[in-house]
Amino acid sequence: MRILLTNDDGIHAEGLQSLERIARTLSDDIWIVAPEYEQSGAGRALTLSDPIRVRRVDDRRFAVEGTPTDCVAMAVQQLIEGPAPNLVLSGVNRGQNLAEDVTLSGTVAGAIEGMALGIPSIALSQAMTYFHDEVVAHWETAEHFGPGVVRRLLEIGWPRDVIMNVNFPALAPEAVTEVEVTRQGFRDSHMRSMEKRTDLRGRDYYWTGFVLKPSKPAEGTDLKAVYEGKISVTPLHIDLTHNPTVAALKGLLGGAPPKLEAAS
């Protein structure tokens, strides 16, 4: 099996090292194409207005000055010698990718690009623990359970227009309780904030970040599972159509286009 690894935290990220250790339990045919610089929050962004530059780190490892989507497209179309990969693994992200954040995640986007190119793809993320100013990521948890989860998913299989989004809880391996297949949740409070600052020349600038405030998620969601110390496995696809609204609008808006009323 030929496996392509990517991420959004960059070519030097500790999570990418964990992902390589996971992948090497499954195959020796590993290619790594990751961003030269961190691309967290890039979503499915493409580089269209600038050239994409590539640095070859070694025979099968490349750093790309672009987004995770760029990395996967470049890997499959330009960089990998011989057959295309049989599997794309994206991650292991430093921090969870749950609920509405999956639409922002470069980690998830890397997997989606793999799926768009016809390759089974899995996004993997490791939730973190926050102690005042210290952040702890239990990479050993992703490395302990990742090979088994990926192998079992490959045995089962999934539709071509779906990716698997795997999140490991912020716990040591011995404290993880189970794997749960979940649906995408939605937080009950806004999680991002903007902070205004002023530089030494008196000009304003802004930092954006996340508010570490737990929500109260519903049963069966990715959020709930990770909060409860479980490994969450969520099948995702990119059809954003809200079908109940489609059905409701068909009887109200369908047919001939409404005429523009002349102003009185």
User: Which residues does the annotation place in the binding site for a divalent metal cation?
Assistant: 8-9, 40, 93
Q: Give the Cα separation of 52 and 49 in Å (integer).
A: 9
Given the structure tokens 């702890």, which residue do they identify? 136
Closest Cα partner for 163 from 94, 85, 109, 209?
109
CA distance readout (Å), 196 to 174, 191, 204, 259: 42, 17, 7, 46
Residue 130: CB atoms within 10 A of its CB come to 10
Q: Give the Cα separation of 5 and 3 in Å (integer).
A: 6
CA distance readout (Å), 235 to 4, 44, 50, 89, 190: 20, 18, 33, 14, 24
Strands 54-58 and 204-210: unpaired
Task: Tell me the binding residues.
Answer: 8-9, 40, 93
Q: Give the Cα separation of 151 and 105 in Å (integer).
A: 24
Look at the alpha carbons of 97, 100, 104, 109 in this order and tell me if their dihedral is positive or negative.
positive
